[in-house]
Structure formats: structure tokens, C-alpha cells
């Protein structure tokens, strides 16, 4: 009976998602930075794990102020990663292996080097002016309101060309697009169509809950629970800059675009409490297919708290909504560092036996840990702007460890970020023939999950 019912399930309800941070997966051209050909070269590793869905973090042209999350061309490929031909060959190879490809979609903001923004800042009368969020200074000449940037300081940048401020939720090099403008909406939805026309199977939507801001530009209220050890961004409650009611309508429109194509997937990056998170499924599940559930990343690793989080999430899910679970990503300290190597095995058991779609971050399958980054080697703009608070994301973005050679089989040149000191013990080559290794553990777990479908679909 279960097997018959499962025939009606969509591909993303039956599979595991594997996130690749492309700068750090495999370098084939000797520049110390991963590329598309490197991902293609290592597809068999992912397939052998039993995983059939690959999500690749941004690969678009970008000045790399925020390592690809500042996009200067939404329908191109950064030469650092290869060419459009390389992308097409990768997509074809993925599909030839019966796998799916998910791309990162970065709709909240572009790069300040995008032609749209260059036009927008040219004059108040430029046709692209309202594609971004511009406001006059406050009466004292300062920023229009108290909104803060996630990466430190005011979220408003003064531009002398027109004597106005533009809004940027992140770096000043990442101006926010104005999604209240129908022309922006059309242009960005056409970006989705461009990639789906190529055959891309879905999108992970970056900072989905940021996409609409308060139309009255009211000040955010102070956070009564703020302490100095937290990010300065947390001084305010984001009452008027995130999770606005209109975002949910926008997500439904995005879903309509993907529904023009067969079985395409929308995953939303949303850091919100469960009660707000589940709203992004939409009425009658017409929103995001999978609003990312980060609860297991954010809570203390204690049995009672884990059980409570699972029960609360399951209880909050709308009827027919499909759950998902995440243990790590490119913005969070690695699992084996957060909770320890032994507990990481328990976490893998939990992830791969819970109902719903799991996401695995590259390197988790071999037990990679955070790497200490000396101050002079820090690349992450968040750490540079807000040092000393543990907000840096470089430690979890270091190169994949393939073997015991000088640069861990990642490159024949020193990588863009340093390797773990113990990479000669923790690597794919070393672990693949060791039945007690983390890699073997993941392979067995995934094989069991695929064999015993009740693990991932017990509530059907």
C-alpha cells in the first residue's frame, strides 16, 4: 500500500538534496577555486552516496563582494566557474545520471555593478530609478530611518549623484531591488524562465523573507533581548524590513511561474520561527514547496529540545504540506564542530529517518569540521565588518577534502581558503574503503532510507 501511494509523490519528496558551494568543491583549472567542470568530475561521488539532487550556490557573474550573492548578470556564468557551455554540459551530465539540478536564485538584491543599478543611480528620472529603493535624507541629512544592515552599520547608503539614499539589507554593494515595481517582478520572473527553459529543475530562493519592505518606511523597534555579544543587526526587531505580509503574495506569484513548467521546485531560505515559517507554504500549498526548516541548526543539541522542535514543526505544518530538514549550510558552523563528531552520526540518523526532504551540506558526509581562519586570511565580508563575534562564515566554506595529497585533491594550487589540519585522515579516498568511516556510515544510512521508504514517508 505504501509503495503504491509513493508512486504519486513528486521527485523532491523522495530524494535528498546535496548543497555544493562551488568555490570549494573541485578546482580543475589550477586557480585554487572550484569550478563547474570540477562539479561534473565529481558527480559519481554524489551518485554513489545515493543522492540524486544537486543544489549549487551562485555561479553568476559577480564582483564577488559577497562571493556570488551580489549578482551582476542573472543569466550568465562567472568566468571563474567556467562558461555557459560548461554549465550546459554539467546540466546534461546531471540529467544523464537521472539526477536533478537546483540553482541559487538571488532576487532580493543585485550587485551595485549590475547595469540595472548603474542606470538607476544615474538620475531620479531614469526609467530604472524605481527598480531599487531610494529615499530622501532625514531632516538632519542622515539616513531616512533606523534600518540596519545584516553586515553592520546603516542599511542606507548616501549617493551624491542624486542626493538620496539607497537601501541595502546586506553590503552597500548589494542594493535591494524594489519588488513593488511590476517591471522588476517581470524581469526577475523572466530570469526563472531563462534557467527553466534550459532544463534547471528548481531554485533555492535566497533570503526570501526579505523581499518586501514596509511601504511606510517605519523605524524598527528596539530588541529588548539584545546583548552586546550578538550582531549589531539584532539591536532591532525586524518588524518592518522582513516577513512583510506582501511577501507571501509574491511567493505565490513566483510559484505560478514555476508551475508553467513540469515539476519544478522552489525552496525558500527563511530564518523565522515555525509559526511564521509555515505561512510560506501558502494557502492550499500554493507558495514555496519547501520553506527551509533550520530548526535543527539553531537549537541546542539536547534530546528534549530536539523532540519538542520536531513535534512543534509537524504540528504547525498545513494540511498536505511536505516537511524538510537541514543540519548545515554555507552560513552555519559545520555540524561536526557544533555538536561533536559522535553526535554528528546521531544527527545523520535523525536527518535521514525523519519524514520529509533532507538537505546535506557538502563535506558533512565525511565529517568535515570548521577550519580556523587566521585574521590575515579572512575573506568573508561579514567577519571583516563585524569582527570578533563569531559571525564569520569562512570556516564552513573551506575546500572539499578528496584525498591525502598536498591540497586534498581539491586543486594543484593553494586553495582560496585553508584546509583542515587533519585533512589527510578526513577525506573521501581515505574513508571510502573504511566501513567504520563517516562516509560509509552515510552510504549505509542512505541505502537504508531508500530501501525502507517508511523512514522518510511515515505519515502517508
Any idea which residues carry the catalytic annotation?
206, 269
Identify which of 108, 113, 23 has the alpha carbon closest to the alpha carbon of residue 67: 23
Identify which of 251, 327, 262 has the alpha carbon closest to the alpha carbon of residue 290: 251
Residue 255 and residue 276: Cα distance in Å, rounded?
18
Would you say 261 and 196 are in contact if contact means Cβ atoms under 8 Å apart?
yes
Cell 532625514 belongs to 138
Beta-carbon contacts of 273 under 8 Å, excluding residues fewer than 6 positions away, are none
Q: How far is CA 127 from CA 25, 131, 227, 342, in A?
A: 41, 8, 44, 57
Identify which of 392, 395, 370 has the alpha carbon closest to the alpha carbon of residue 381: 392
Residue 241 and residue 144: Cα distance in Å, rounded?
13
Residue 363 and residue 32: Cα distance in Å, rounded?
18
Residue 66 and residue 379: Cα distance in Å, rounded?
9
Phi, psi of 267 (to 5 degrees): -110, 130
Q: How many CA atoms lie within 13 A of 244 on its CB side?
A: 18
Here the cell at position 113 is: 555593478
CA dihedral 324, 291, 37, 370 (to 10 degrees): -70
Phi, psi of 424 (to 5 degrees): -70, -20
Mapping DSSP to helix (H, G, I), strand (E, B) and coil, where does residue 239 land? coil
Amino acid at each position: 500500500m505504501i509503495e503504491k501511494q509513493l508512486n504519486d509523490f513528486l521527485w523532491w519528496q523522495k530524494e535528498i538534496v546535496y548543497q555544493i558551494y562551488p568555490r570549494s568543491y573541485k578546482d580543475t583549472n589550477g586557480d585554487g577555486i572550484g569550478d563547474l567542470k570540477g562539479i561534473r568530475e565529481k558527480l559519481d561521488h554524489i551518485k554513489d552516496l545515493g543522492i540524486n539532487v544537486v543544489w549549487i550556490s551562485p555561479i553568476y557573474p559577480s564582483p564577488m563582494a559577497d562571493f556570488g550573492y551580489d549578482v551582476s548578470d542573472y543569466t550568465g556564468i562567472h568566468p571563474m566557474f567556467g562558461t555557459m557551455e560548461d554549465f550546459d554540459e554539467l546540466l546534461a551530465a546531471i540529467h544523464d545520471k537521472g539526477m536533478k539540478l537546483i540553482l541559487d536564485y538571488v532576487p532580493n538584491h543585485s550587485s551595485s555593478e549590475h547595469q540595472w543599478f548603474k542606470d538607476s543611480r544615474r538620475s531620479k528620472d531614469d526609467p530604472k530609478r524605481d527598480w531599487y529603493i531610494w529615499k530622501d535624507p532625514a531632516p538632519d541629512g542622515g539616513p531616512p530611518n533606523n534600518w540596519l544592515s545584516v553586515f553592520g552599520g546603516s542599511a542606507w547608503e548616501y549617493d551624491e549623484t542624486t542626493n538620496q539614499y539607497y537601501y541595502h539589507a546586506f553590503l552597500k554593494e548589494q542594493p535591494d531591488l524594489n519588488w513593488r515595481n511590476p517591471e522588476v517582478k517581470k524581469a526577475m520572473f523572466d530570469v526563472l524562465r531563462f534557467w527553466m527553459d534550459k532544463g534547471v529543475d528548481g531554485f533555492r530562493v535566497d533570503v526570501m523573507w526579505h523581499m518586501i519592505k514596509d511601504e511606510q518606511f517605519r523605524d524598527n523597534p528596539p530588541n529588548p533581548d539584545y546583548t552586546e555579544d550578538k550582531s549589531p543587526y539584532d539591536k532591532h526587531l525586524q518588524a518592518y524590513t522582513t516577513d512583510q505580509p506582501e511577501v507571501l503574495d509574491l511567493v505565490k506569484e513566483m510559484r505560478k511561474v514555476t508551475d508553467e513548467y513540469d515539476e519544478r521546485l522552489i525552496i525558500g531560505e527563511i530564518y523565522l520561527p515555525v509559526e511564521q515559517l509555515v505561512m510560506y507554504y501558502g494557502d492550499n500549498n500554493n507558495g514555496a514547496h519547501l520553506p527551509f526548516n533550520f530548526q535543527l541548526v539553531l537549537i541546542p543539541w539536547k534530546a528534549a529540545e530536539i523532540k519538542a522542535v520536531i513535534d512543534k514543526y509537524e504540528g504547525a505544518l498545513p494540511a498536505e504540506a511536505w516537511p524538510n530538514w537541514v543540519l548545515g549550510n554555507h552560513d552555519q558552523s559545520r555540524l561536526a564542530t557544533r555538536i561533536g563528531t559522535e553526535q554528528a552520526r546521531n544527527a545523520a540518523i535523525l536527518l535521514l529517518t525523519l519524514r520529509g526532504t533532507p538537505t546535506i551540506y557538502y563535506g558533512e558526509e565525511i565529517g568535515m569540521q570548521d577550519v580556523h581562519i587566521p585574521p590575515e586570511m579572512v575573506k568573508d565580508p561579514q567577519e571583516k565588518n563585524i569582527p570578533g563575534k563569531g559571525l564569520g562564515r569562512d570556516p564552513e566554506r573551506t575546500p572539499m577534502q578528496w584525498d591525502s595529497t598536498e591540497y586534498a585533491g581539491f586543486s594543484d594550487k593553494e586553495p582560496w581558503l585553508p584546509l583542515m589540519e587533519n585533512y589527510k585522515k578526513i577525506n573521501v579516498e581515505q574513508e571510502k574503503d573504511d566501513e567504520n568511516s563517516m562516509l560509509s556510515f552515510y552510504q549505509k544510512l542512505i541505502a537504508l532510507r531508500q530501501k525502507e521508504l517508511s523512514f522518510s514517508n511515515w505519515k502517508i
